[in-house]
A and B are shown apart, each in its own frame.
Chain A
Amino acid sequence: MAAAARPLVTVQALESDMATDGASLPLPEVMKASIRPDIVNFVHSNISKNSRQPYAVSRQAGHQTSAESWGTGRAVSRIPRVSGGGTHRAGQGAFGNMCRGGRMFAPTRIWRRWHRKINVNQKRYAVVSAIAASCVPSLVMARGHRIESVPELPLVVSDSAEGVEKTQNAIKVLKQIGAYPDAEKAKDSLGIRPGKGKMRNRRYIARKGPLIVYGTEGAKLVKAFRNIPGVEIANVERLNLLKLAPGGHLGRFIIWTKSAFEKLDSIYGSFDKTSEKKRGYVLPRAKMANADLARIINSDEVQSVVKPIKKEVKRAPMKKNPLKNLNTMLRLNPYAKTAKRMAVLAEEQRKKAKKEKLDKKRQPITKEEAAKIKSASKSWYKTMISDSDYAEFDVFTKWLGVSQ
């Protein structure tokens, strides 16, 4: 999405302005930079470490004794004990972190690394991101500023605001441009800090109100606006991340004056053009030029190539057992049908034959048959006997003991 057409931002005219056309200014490229809460958070946490003052415990704490261990054999533990006599202190343990009046474990030292160095480019990325985020109403609202009555974001005010000298007029200006509810919120939120910070010169806390960014050096508005609770002022040339993203959270409500707004382009440059004030600096590029996923997905280019939606959900059919379910068996093995049929027919045949046989058997035998059977068995018996008279065995004579 090459920003060919830059949207216009109207400049809010204040009462005292001449009734000229409240001019419109094109949006500076900075406000299109990628919004990176992760970078801002990182840089913010590191930058805020830079104004820390060292704290440490005294170097001699716990060591200002000439204690010596009593060694073994005295029925006491071996920690060094204070020498001498005549006071409570004599014989008490010393030097250890577990001892009363001893030094702490790992005494804090002043040469702890208090400050952090952050790469210049990272710092600039964070500032640029924070400026871009301040143009998105959702983000500013999410940070908690009351911007329901603000006519437009980013809010640009004509340069007559820079000439405001009295705080009274400053408040009037805020009211005209709809920024007053935010300042009011800050004023109402003034309260006493919970915790020990109270006694450490951090007694009061309040919400942050709008940040006013002006363009010309030595503008009078600094003095006029600075006493309003919650309101902060900054010069465009020197924007501070700690003010642009307080707490590391993006989306401070910023009020720009016209000259400040115009200067932004020359200070930060654009995505192609290097900035004039920061040598060789170009605005960071985003990973995705167009991050609007919904639009991309629904665009013609994508939709024309995409397969149609499958509306019917194909569900797996239930598995049926072929051994029990004839149709599934037939699907797998069509011959099964004929095989089965043959089997059935064969079975019937068998049954029939058996039945006949049995019937026949169960019928009482007729007299002729019975006579036949009897005579047949008699003759068989006769032949059996005559056969057994056979005595001319060649091989088995000895065996059989046949008497000739």
Chain B
Amino acid sequence: MTTVPGQLIWEIVKRNNSFLVKEFGNGNQSVQFSKEPNNLYNLNSYKHSGLANKKTITIQPAGKDQSILLATSKTKQQAKPASLLHKSIMKKEFNRMAKAVVNQVAVNYYRPDLKKAALARLSAVSKSLKVSKSGVKKKNRQASRIYGRK
């Protein structure tokens, strides 16, 4: 498939696509979110878009506990959606994973402008996995009685 350039795709997609979420509300409406899988910040913008860029990064929880899926898209195979992504599942401690992410994203010049975003997402995802493992914190709603005060 001839490469339809990312900017063209972005012009078509930015106003309207099936992943677009426009939150309704005073503070929120100015932000537009996007639910695509390859969007690191989930923001609807050219830089972060998973649709308009040839090189995209995705960090998501993989099925099993605590493992995280890191996937980058291959630049050559743009027309083959099934084989588009380099997937790798990581199940190490956080520092190691962070190093791996930085290596993939920045050190080999893949998308150095997304380094911060990738790390941020990594920490968010791994935190959520930890939380889901140990259960959501149960807030003690019962008012505690103070003895001795009558």
Partners in one complex: yes
| In the assembled complex, B142 has its CB within 8 A of some CB on chain A | no
Asked if A291 contacts B8 (CB within 8 A), the reply is yes
| In the assembled complex, B27 has its CB within 8 A of some CB on chain A | no
**In the complex, which residues 137-151 of chain A have their Cβ closer than 8 Å to any Cβ of chain B?**
137-139, 141-144, 147-151
Asked if A7 contacts B4 (CB within 8 A), the reply is no
Select B16's contact among A7, A32, A178, A249, beta carbons within 8 Å. Answer: A249
| In the assembled complex, B12 has its CB within 8 A of some CB on chain A | yes
**In the complex, which residues 53-84 of chain B have their Cβ closer than 8 Å to any Cβ of chain A?**
78-84
Contacts of B52 in A (CB 8 A): 138
Asked if A151 contacts B80 (CB within 8 A), the reply is yes
Whole-angstrom distance between the Cβ of B94 and the nearest chain A Cβ: 28
| In the assembled complex, B9 has its CB within 8 A of some CB on chain A | yes
Asked if A136 contacts B9 (CB within 8 A), the reply is yes
Select A138's contact among B2, B16, B51, B82, beta carbons within 8 Å. Answer: B51
| In the assembled complex, A31 has its CB within 8 A of some CB on chain B | yes
Give the complex CA separation of A27 and B138 in angstroms: 59
Contacts of B82 in A (CB 8 A): 148-152, 178
Number of residues on chain B facing chain A (CB within 8 A): 25
Asked if A154 contacts B12 (CB within 8 A), the reply is no
Q: Which of A27, A133, A153 has the most C-beta atoms of chain B within 10 angstroms of its own C-beta? A: A153
Give the complex CA separation of A153 and B19 in angstroms: 20
Contacts of A141 in B (CB 8 A): 18, 36, 51, 81
Point out residues on A near B: beta carbons under 8 Å.
3, 7, 9, 27, 31-32, 35, 37, 133, 135-139, 141-144, 147-154, 178, 249-250, 291-295
* 8 extra A-B contacts, CB within 8 A, seeds A136-B4, A143-B17, A150-B82: A7-B2, A136-B9, A142-B51, A151-B81, A152-B82, A153-B1, A153-B81, A291-B5
The 5 closest A-B pairs by CB, nearest first: A144-B18, A292-B5, A142-B17, A138-B51, A152-B80
Interface CB pairs A-B, < 8 A, 30:
A7-B2, A31-B1, A35-B4, A135-B1, A136-B1, A136-B9, A137-B84, A138-B51, A139-B9, A141-B18, A141-B51, A142-B13, A142-B17, A142-B51, A147-B81, A148-B82, A150-B80, A150-B81, A151-B80, A151-B81, A152-B79, A152-B80, A153-B1, A153-B79, A154-B1, A178-B82, A291-B5, A292-B5, A293-B5, A293-B7
